[in-house]
Amino acid sequence: MEKTKKVLKLIGIYLLNYILWTVVFVLLFRTPLFKGMDVLMYRGVIFIFLTGLLAAGTMAVLMRFLKLIEIRDIILMFFLICCVNMTLFTLIPVTVERSVSVFMLSYMEQNDDRTYTREDVEEIFAQKYVKDYGAFEKRFNEQEVTGTIEKNADGTYSITPSGRRIVKMFRTVAEWFDTDKRLVYPNDY
């Protein structure tokens, strides 16, 4: 019974620590910290790593007062924050920022006083999302910032070795999970 109490107490500490630093992680996006970063993913990764360190630090402080916390709990807390929040961050905010589906549904919801043909929605997407909102420009600039493409002396662009490695990784993932191959082999379809 005593062992069960210790385990439940430790689970409670993990849970409270996780909730605290996850709330801080979300709130960091409302601050000017790293606001100049154009790539949401990079800003998120920095915040995830920072809050992971702070969560681990919290466990280190608690270790001084609670005998049931050990070094392994500090390490586990860091990885728990980083892994779970990276998964949630890439599944939700990054998807919201990049998703064609999110845009399409949001547009239709805000204009629900009418109906649309497929062609209407495609035209709205091309005009508003791609042209007005600069979707292509944003993604192209991200590739420059991340170093997957580079500008040549004549003003043209080329893929970098880093870009080639990423394409290879994407193709491997596409094979493993049997995703749409047109996106990773556009000339073959």
| pTM (two decimals) | 0.73
Among 67, 25, 18, residue whose Cα is nearest residue 50: 25
Give 122-172 pLDDT, tens digit per residue: 999 999 999 999 999 989 999 999 999 999 999 999 999 999 999 999 999
| Residue 188 to residue 183: CA distance in whole angstroms | 10
Give 80-102 pLDDT, tens digit per residue: 999 999 999 999 988 888 788 88
DSSP code at position 104 = H
